[in-house]
Amino acid sequence: MDGLNVSIAFFLLVVGVCQVLGWLSQRLLSPGTHGCLAREFAGSLQLCTSCLELRMLMEIGPWGGGFGLDVVLTLLFLLSAAHGASFGGASSNPTVSLQEFLLLESSLVATAAKLLAQGVGAGTGWAVTRLYWSWELSQLHFIQNLIAPECSSSIRASLPLAAFVEGSCSFLFHLILLKVRQSHPLCRVPALAATVTFLTYTAGPFTGAFFNPALATATTFHCSGNSFWDYIQVYWLGPLAGMLAALLLFQGNIPRLFQKNLLYSQKSKYKVPKAKVTAQVEGDKPQKKRKGGKSNSEPCA
């Protein structure tokens, strides 16, 4: 269990350092674009380093560390919750940033800058984790260094099935994200962390269950077993298609592309009041106002 203790200490150190980076970005940078990009970088750095260490524990832990999958999934839930609570304003996921762009919540330049920050953060996380593994602080890291040059692809199914699995994971994740994105953090954070944990447990044996193009690129694209185009189909196009399907199902349209609702009829949420009977005095005789006049209320846009 010494190797597990070393990994837990590494997780705590990474979370602490990334929290300091996020705090410094808020204090030193403007609250606009620069601060947002710094948070995206710090969030992607934390996400990638944690994911790499967790994958190492998941692959080597059962036979080299004496602990099972339940320990790794518990750590995954806790780290996902910590990430969601500490980087609520940063997605650290290219498909989430593209979703914000399609929802008219972010401009094209800002979205491109976020994608760049996420890629740099994930690449930095990969380099930091490889350096940390080279120190061989535990037996697990010693074994990881021996097998790292011969890493194999995370795709353990046919390409169509693998792309469908990643797309399905992305679809479910984005559907829940759209549902809880305006909820209180006490509800949103555990819901998303539980979703990530469930999807990893269910789809991990097939593709690794990344449903995050930046994370998958830094984690598995360099491994042998599949071509670069295979990885593009599974880990880029699959999650992108899943995000678009979830957005279309939830919204009924994609606001950036067209305004018309394709799936749901739009009804006005305001009821048209019925004409009231009024009395108008003409001389000494009251008269009733005739019904049937046109309403001045306009349909909800």
Q: What's the CA gap between 297 and 80, in Å, rounded?
A: 47
The answer to whether position 35 is within a domain reads yes
Q: What's the CA gap between 65 and 61, in Å, rounded?
A: 4
Neighbours of 213 (CB within 10 A): 27
Q: What's the CA gap between 42 and 25, in Å, rounded?
A: 9
How far from the centroid of its chain's Cα atoms is residue 236's Cα? 14
Residues in Cβ contact with 241 at an 8 Å cutoff, skipping those fewer than 6 apart: 167, 170
The answer to whether position 294 is within a domain reads no
Band of residue 264 on the pLDDT scale cut at 50, 70, 90: confident
pLDDT-above-70 percentage for the chain: 85
Band of residue 275 on the pLDDT scale cut at 50, 70, 90: low
Residue 185, domain CATH: 1.20.1080.10
Could you tell me which of 124, 135, 148 has the C-alpha nearest to residue 215?
124
Interval 258-270 mean pLDDT: 67
Is residue 297 scored above 50 in pLDDT? no
| Residue 273 confidence (pLDDT) | 56
Could you tell me which of 216, 181, 180, 184 has the C-alpha nearest to residue 200?
216
| Residue 36 confidence (pLDDT) | 82
Characterise 225 by phi-psi region: left (phi > 0), alpha (psi -120 to 50), beta (else): left
The answer to whether position 301 is within a domain reads no
SS3 301: coil
The answer to whether position 293 is within a domain reads no
The answer to whether position 216 is within a domain reads yes
Interval 271-286 mean pLDDT: 49
Strand 279-282 versus strand 285-288 pairing type: antiparallel
Place of tokens 């990969």: 126
Interval 100-120 mean pLDDT: 93
Flag the least confident range among 2-6, 238-242, 257-261.
Answer: 257-261
Half-sphere exposure for 122 (CA within 13 Å, toward CB): 22
Q: How many domains does the chain have?
A: 1
Could you tell me which of 197, 196, 198, 204 has the C-alpha nearest to residue 174?
196
Say if residues 41 and 10 touch (Cβ distance below 8 Å): no
∠ CA(223), CA(224), CA(228), 5° rounding? 80
Residues 139-198 pLDDT 10s: 899 988 888 777 888 999 999 999 999 999 999 999 999 999 889 989 999 999 999 999
| Residue 274 confidence (pLDDT) | 53
The answer to whether position 281 is within a domain reads no
| Residue 299 confidence (pLDDT) | 32
Band of residue 295 on the pLDDT scale cut at 50, 70, 90: very low
Place of tokens 């790794």: 72
Domain that holds residue 59: 1-251
Interval 267-281 mean pLDDT: 50
The answer to whether position 267 is within a domain reads no
Q: What's the CA gap between 183 and 185, in Å, rounded?
A: 6
Characterise 292 by phi-psi region: left (phi > 0), alpha (psi -120 to 50), beta (else): left
The pTM for the full model equals 0.84
Q: What's the CA gap between 185 and 191, in Å, rounded?
A: 9
pLDDT-above-90 percentage for the chain: 55
